[in-house]
Amino acid sequence: MENPGRGKPYSIRTLADASGVNRNLVAKLANGTQDSADVNDAHSLSEALGVAVLVAFMPSSSPELDDSSPAERPTEKE
């Protein structure tokens, strides 16, 4: 995670400290076990990272297909 002011990447701890967001939430977001955050936490994290909220929490551009999806998965040729 880039740190816009210090020139070295954030760790989970330093990002949590800089943003004021709970360290466990930062860890879950970073490792992908959680994909959303409270609006205030999202804004705090985005501000600490120096990016817009929609950049930090942008939804996937293409939803993943699951077994309930009527669409077919692309083949290797596609």
One pLDDT digit (tens) per residue for the chain, 78 residues: 555 555 678 899 999 999 999 999 999 999 999 988 999 999 999 999 888 998 888 876 766 655 555 556 566 665
Q: How many residues does the chain have?
A: 78
- Separation of alpha carbons 37 and 50, rounded Å: 17
Q: Global pTM? A: 0.68
- Separation of alpha carbons 7 and 44, rounded Å: 19
Closest to 55 (Cα-Cα) out of 63, 64, 46? 46
